[in-house]
């Protein structure tokens, strides 16, 4: 009986921590995809014959179609900086938000994420 009590107490402590780590791991997928999108947009914008805005729109549309966990929204181009926001959907609904930017002239990238469901402070890429 003592063993059952000990196992019950350990389960009560460990299970919430495990579930929280699972949510964080799923959020990492959105963060990774957001960073990849920004890198591809910056590379495309450096090509003088291409426009990064079209690439950003295409990548956001593709990821929104293929991802069960992330919904991306293009912030477009402001000066030399492209921006992107991400919101959790499905299992991450209300638990993940992200903001990303890249300055294609300087190569500076920024990202801010939160697992609390509130919008993170926007990163700066100037």
76 vs 119, higher pLDDT: 76
Per the CB < 8 A criterion, the answer to whether 39 and 109 are in contact is yes
Say what the pTM is: 0.78
| 49 pLDDT above the threshold of 70 | no
Q: What is the 3-state secondary structure (H, E, C) of the chain?
A: CHHHHHHHHHHHHHHHHHHHHHHHHHHHHHHHHHHHHHHHHHHHHHCCCCCHHHHHHHHHHHHHHHCCCEEEEEEEEECCEEEEEEEECHHHCCCCEEEEEEECCCCCEEEEEECCCCCCCCCCCC
| 72 pLDDT above the threshold of 90 | yes
Average pLDDT over residues 95-108: 88
What pLDDT shows up at residue 100?
A: 93
């Amino acid at each position: 009986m003592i063993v059952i009590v000990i196992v019950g107490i350990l389960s009560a402590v460990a299970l919430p921590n495990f579930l929280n780590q699972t949510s964080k791991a799923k959020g990492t997928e959105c963060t990774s995809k957001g960073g990849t999108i920004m890198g591809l947009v910056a590379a495309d914008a450096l090509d003088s014959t291409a426009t990064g805005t079209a690439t950003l729109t295409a990548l956001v549309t593709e990821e929104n179609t293929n991802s069960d966990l992330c919904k991306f929204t293009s912030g477009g181009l402001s000066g030399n900086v492209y921006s992107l926001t991400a919101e959790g959907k499905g299992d991450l609904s209300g638990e993940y938000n992200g903001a990303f930017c890249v300055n294609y002239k300087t190569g500076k990238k920024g990202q801010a994420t939160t697992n609390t469901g509130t919008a993170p402070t926007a990163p700066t890429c100037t």
